[in-house]
Homo-oligomer: A and B are copies of this chain.
Amino acid sequence: MSVDGSRGLEFIDSNMGKKPLFLCTISYTGTSEIPGLTLAGSNPEVVKFTPAADAELLYYRQCKSIPGVPATPDGVPTPALITLSALKLATIPFFILDAGSAVKPRAPYISVGLQSLAKNITTGHAMELKDVKQVFEYAKLLGRNLSYLCDYLVLGESIPAGTTTASAVLSALGIDARGKVSSSMTDNPHQLKDHVVEQSLKAARISIDKLTADPLLAISKVGDPMIATVAGLVIGAAGKAPIILAGGTQMTAVAAVVSILDARALENVVLSTTPYVTEDPKSDLSWLLKQSGDIPVLAADPGLARSSIIGLQPYGKGLVKEGVGAGGSCLASMLRSSGKITTTDILNEVERSYHEIIGT
């Protein structure tokens, strides 16, 4: 586990042995259909199935909406494999929250009632503002209720192309995220992303001043439903339950939105991800966090860099990196067991899951 500073240590201290609840928000943005932005699927046609398939994997240790499991075109499996292993080791309960996913999971899920699909942000009009407000308000109600049911909340996500929409929201909020967000690829396509963001902000035809004053408006122009939902969950649960934002650079967009709407809600929030994100030379999580929410980062290592399984080793080389709350669920697993569950235990369990679910 790697921790930056005293607030991170405090979070660990005060939540050691406590009971987490893991929540994975699955969502969709039309932005994922731009070629070259995401590897969250073996080919572009299946990308929209990935969030539902991730959810099914957590419930059933197999997918129902697709054959096999979500993977990159090279066959590197979804980080849901890490998440399900970490949750299992520490018997952590979880929910799936559907925020406008294109395919609904064949499993139970919480709905925030979003009926339409979020559009490609290059339209400059990703979502109806009333829909953004609705999912945000519903998520606040949920966050409040969920905060009574656990000692702390772990909020993950599965939304292909989510780093691009996050970059656009950060930019809309005055944070120059160019070249800073992470990617499921080893070779982060920053140029393409920056171009998409620039195009989106231009198409939105609205001044950055107006957007920084109204982050829900910014989401409606160039964001995605995941950001609105997780921001709502944080604000709803704030003051009642500590929160782990379980994700990479996407979560800095959430932190930025919360910080504008209700800065105090970030007081007991940390971001937790994998070392594949925190040590990524091609993105800058820590800079983004300083600009967006200034919350501590805790990296939890699932150990895949030293896996004997060829299909898992690419994580150590910066492929996939994070998703489905993988890093945060590892941290929660370690915390829940008061440190008894280690990186080696998680790696072993991920390898067992790999053999069981994917084969040899």
Chain A residues engaging chain B, CB cutoff 8 angstroms: 19, 21, 59, 91, 93-95, 98, 104, 106-113, 138-139, 141-142, 145-146, 148-150
Q: Which residues of B contact A146 (CB under 8 A)?
A: 93
Contacts A21-B149, A95-B145, A108-B111 supplied; 13 other A-B pairs, CB < 8 Å = A19-B148, A93-B148, A93-B149, A94-B145, A98-B111, A106-B113, A108-B113, A108-B139, A108-B142, A109-B111, A109-B113, A111-B111, A149-B150
Bound together, the chains give a CA A106 to CA B19 distance in angstroms of 30
Bound together, the chains give a CA A21 to CA B93 distance in angstroms of 15
Task: Please provide the 10 A-B residue pairs with the shortest distance between their CB atoms, ordered closest to farther.
Answer: A93-B148, A149-B149, A108-B138, A93-B145, A108-B142, A111-B111, A110-B110, A108-B112, A109-B111, A108-B141
Bound together, the chains give a CA A138 to CA B149 distance in angstroms of 20
Q: A93-B149, A148-B93 are in contact. Are A141 and B59 (CB under 8 A)?
A: yes
Q: Which residues of B contact A112 (CB under 8 A)?
A: 108
Is B113 touching A111 in the complex (CB atoms < 8 A)?
no
Is B110 touching A109 in the complex (CB atoms < 8 A)?
yes
Is A91 touching B148 in the complex (CB atoms < 8 A)?
yes
Q: Which residues of B contact A113 (CB under 8 A)?
A: 104, 106-109
* Pairs A–B under 8 Å by Cβ, sample size 30: A19-B148, A21-B149, A91-B148, A93-B145, A93-B148, A93-B149, A94-B145, A95-B110, A95-B145, A98-B111, A104-B111, A104-B113, A106-B113, A107-B113, A107-B138, A107-B141, A108-B111, A108-B112, A108-B113, A108-B138, A108-B139, A108-B141, A108-B142, A109-B110, A109-B111, A109-B113, A110-B110, A111-B111, A149-B149, A149-B150
Bound together, the chains give a CA A107 to CA B98 distance in angstroms of 13
Q: Smallest Cβ distance from A344 to chain B, in angstroms? A: 26
Bound together, the chains give a CA A109 to CA B109 distance in angstroms of 9
Bound together, the chains give a CA A91 to CA B104 distance in angstroms of 32
Q: Smallest Cβ distance from A342 to chain B, in angstroms? A: 23
Q: Which residues of B contact A141 (CB under 8 A)?
A: 59, 107-108
Q: Which residues of B contact A149 (CB under 8 A)?
A: 21, 93, 149-150
Q: Smallest Cβ distance from A235 to chain B, in angstroms? A: 14
Q: Which residues of B contact A107 (CB under 8 A)?
A: 113, 138, 141
Bound together, the chains give a CA A330 to CA B340 distance in angstroms of 41
Q: Which residues of B contact A150 (CB under 8 A)?
A: 149
